[in-house]
Structure 1
Amino acid sequence: MGAFKLAPRCPQKVHDIVVDPEPNWSFESLSSELHSLEKKLHDSCSIPVPFTKVQSREFWNRKGVKRSPMAFVMSLSNEETELSESEREEDHDLSMVTAKRFNCDDLYMSDSDSSDYELAFDAQSYLMDEVGLVESALFERSHEHHLQVQQEDIRNQLSAIETELMTEQEKSASAFARIEKYREARKELERKLDTHYQRKIAEALDNHLTAIQRDHELKSQIEERRIRSDAAHEEAKRKERAFHEERLRQERARAEAEAKLRFEEAKMAALEAERRAAKEAAEKEATEASKRIAAVASQQEAAKPQLNADSSNMNLQPQGSGSNRTKKSQTTGDVVRAAQTALTLEQGRLLKLKELEEANRTLIMTSNMDFSNHERHISRLIRQIRGIKENVRVKASELVKILKNPSCPQSISVVAFAKKVVSHCESPDNAVFACGHVIVLVASQVPQAMDLLLAEFHRACIYTVPKHIVYSKSAFESKEAYYKDIGHREDGGKLESVKDYLKRLESYMKLYGALVQTEVQGVPNIHGPKEGWAWLARFLNVLPANMYTAVALNAFLQTAGFVLFRKYKSQFTKMLHIILNDFLNALRERGDSELNPIILEIQSYIEDNKFCQEPEGRSLQGQLLSSVMVPESEPSRGHYY
């Protein structure tokens, strides 16, 4: 059975639409053709179209895979159609029927319901003949199947779109996270770069300021070196002038001392000549008297005893008076070595103390009161003095109360205070610097106590004047008498040893040195560093170099040297050079091996600059004492300096 050609029963053209079935059309061509038809219908339709297609149709299979745009072929089976032998031979090579392309440009098509289609095609003829029930059912079945396939495809597409959308969202979230992380990293990097830049700026500024400061310091150092150099040059000139003036002064002092010594020698020679002349005159007068007595012995026997007594008196009196004058002149000329001003001050203080003691004895004898309790209280307070500021404040305050107590005359309590302070020097636990503070604080309230205390010092130790007594056989009856004059004590008819005497001498001088160097803020020291400087000058100008003077000088320097150096600076160092060159050399020239320890101690003190170091115990523990001892209502007594 041969193939047959299908031809539509309708006209070939309907409203310029060519019925041209073409079996080799592809899906893509068909889709584009339908799209163009819909567009033409939309443009030519006067009735609004409820739905407008914006996307071209696509065909999918049941599995959701897009079909390839291939042509479809219409064919008929040999079982359904039988052709003649001749037709089979004509169309032997044709298994397919080619359909012509049809054009529906002028045909109006709408997506509305079937009534619209019926209205649109009422006046037109059908394109194809009516079909039977089977073909209609088959077509309906195919159409339903196609709709199901399309729905399945739509679901698959929606699922794929949702999956793709979720994937895109995840990618977007990941991208946003990466962008945020990058932004944070960039901010951190910018912060670090900003910090680094600020650090660089700060370092550069610091280097610049350091360079400027270094330049200023260098200029300041150069200026300071120039100023110090000029000051050192001026100081050297001043020291040279001062040294020259000091040398001239020493030469004048030596000349004056030599002249005074020559004057004293001449005076002694004149006194000796006068003594001899008086002795010769007395002997001559005695001889003449004896001759006269012998001549008239026979006439005046009754008057002989009287004449003999008169002659005896005339012989003895000139001799005795001459001996006393000789001893006195030797004592004042060759025996005592001291500055005249120091002797004058000593005599005035001792005279004041002696007068006050005599008045106190008279007062005690005429009074019925017992003042020994006050003396014991003063002694106990002095023994309790320690190197603590609170202790010093309390003890000084109690001593001032006792000295101002109206129940006991101040003369008695002041004399007792002076005696107890000086006697306390011998105690091994004597805190000399603390005791010096107490003395200054008490004397600021009771000025009379300072002169009486110094008088007791002079009585106990002649080197606090300073004064030295030289031994002379013609001036002293014995060696024991000389030791008593210089201060040796006698116990049970036996004098103390030189070692014990030197120990007491050192303790007296240490307390005296601590007194003159004491400085309390707001409280005047009546016998302060100025008096200590005067003592040292008088000591070096007049006193000889021996064991006693060396011990006294060393003890004084150990306690007062620090303050004297701080106050007088270069002048004090000149004094130390004189001690080192003159005084110590004079000690060495004596050739006494017992002097070596004290020589080494003084030499070490000067050469090691120990005078620059504050002595141990000088600084008291606690607060200052001036605010406690000096009332605010009372002005400080600066006139006692």
Structure 2
Amino acid sequence: MEAVKLEIRCPQMVNGIGLEPDPDWSFKSLLLELDSLEKKLNLSSSVSLPFAKTKSREIYGEKGTKRSSNAFVMSVSDEDFEDSEGENEKVRDRGLVKAARFNCNEFYFSSDDDSDDQPCLDVQTLMNEVGLVESALYELTHEHQLGVKEEIRNTISALETDLMNESEKSSSAHTKVEKYREARREVERKFDVQYQRRVAEGLDNHLTAVQRDHELKSQIEERKIRSDAAHEEAKRREKALQEERLRQEKAKAEAEAKLKAEEANRAALEAERIAAKEAAEKEAAKSSKANTSEVPQTEASGGPNATSSRVENDKTNKSELAGNMLRAAESALKLERERLQKLKELEEINQSLRSSSNQNFDRTGRLIGRLIRQISGNKDKVSTQASELVKIFNNPHCPQTISIAYFAQKVVSNCESPSHSAFACAHVIVLVTSQFPQAMDLVLAEIHRACIYTVPKHISYTKSAFESKEAYWKVIGYKEDDGKIESTTDYLVRLESYMKLYGALVQTEVAGCQNVHGLKEGWAWLARFLNALPANMYTAVALYAFLQMAGFALFRKYRSQFMKMLNFISENFLNALRSQDDPDLRPITSKIQCYLEDKLFLQEPEGRTLHSSLLSNNMAPESDYHGPYHQQSRHFY
């Protein structure tokens, strides 16, 4: 009987594990291998497996009997040989039989020599019996192997099932973890959004609080600035009032100095007259002694002639002294006296109004001063300021004479400021005086009182007329501060400012308004100046400032006549300056010469045409003279 090898109808390898174990393995080795396989699966999984074994695996048979892990031994009796087929069927139905040994008690070898065929028969029988035993043994072994293989397949199938379940559980757990992570991310994102919203709200609240604090601080600073400005304005007003009082006191002192100078002149003239009279009497006495017989006739005939000659000599000496001291045209002096008289009468009227009224008019003066300081080279600004000034003049609560007096004072005092716009200020003066013509003479009187060269006139220094040089400087317009006379440089700067205002005033023309002191008066001023005034430092600065402002308009109107004036200046005035050979006169001489040679009178002066809109820099400050004559220098008389 041939052995039949059965093949397992399943893959030979699963996950690197062979399904066809070695038939020579023992059960113990198989169990150890299975346990190691389970341990590897447990170690490879991140989650504890539910089928992990805690004790050694046991193998049971079909009838529930525990199988040993050792090799088995089969025992076959003699009766089994008789019915091998029946026995074989029964053996197939039985499970594995554990035996301690394999016995063939029924087989024996006979030594009977009587029969020759008996050994062969016995051997054949034995071989047949041995074949049956081997077949049964093989069947049992095969059945055992099939059982072991089935057990292995069941175990492997269970392991695969557990592995698949565990994989599904892992996938499910992984999916849950991912969902949890996504949920956490969503929660964290919501928390981030809420946190960012809270941060934004907190930042917005903080910025709002900072802005509120900044606005509060700004308001406090503005209030402080306004308070400081009000305090400074009050101090400035107080200082202005003090300066005004000092100016009035200085004017009185100057008037007294002039009166003293006139009295000194009269005393000198009287002394000369007395000396001449005494000399005439001495001569008459000598002649009477020499020729006594002819004395009555000489006295009778020569008395009236001598008296008349003495009077004529007195008049001649007086005119010569006045002519040497004061240089001016008689018409100019007459106009000056008339304007100053009007100003004096106006001041007397205002003084009586202030004394009779309990109202304080200083507020009106401050308002007028502020409006004049705000004048700039802009048409709209000029018109606005002029309209405001006209409203103040028409204000019934303040007398018009007081308003006009304040206007004249503030206009003249403001022209000393570095930011002063002469042309813009001249436009305001023309606009106001076109409606109040009497104000023009008062403005001119204030200008004459501030600067004698606007008349024009010049006073020369003589020891007989002035007690000291300081007294002379006060008469011609030098300012005194705390008992100290200002420098020549400062005086020339102010002289230039006054002359520029006067030069801008005479050439200003406004549409629809009449300039009562127009270009005709400027032409008269230039003629009187060149005819009467000497050439020196003061007159040169005055002439150059006037030509700068009014030369353009004079040339446009008078053309050839103005050119004759310029030729006279070049041939006479400049030559007179050069002849003095004074280094301090060279800068101003060069400026006048450049003005004539470069024909600057053909160019419109800066600021003459007002702008129609505000500029970032309306008017540049007037550049100061820089030259030796602006330094402290000796005086010219």
TM-score, normalised via structure 2 length: 0.48
TM-score, normalised via structure 1 length: 0.48
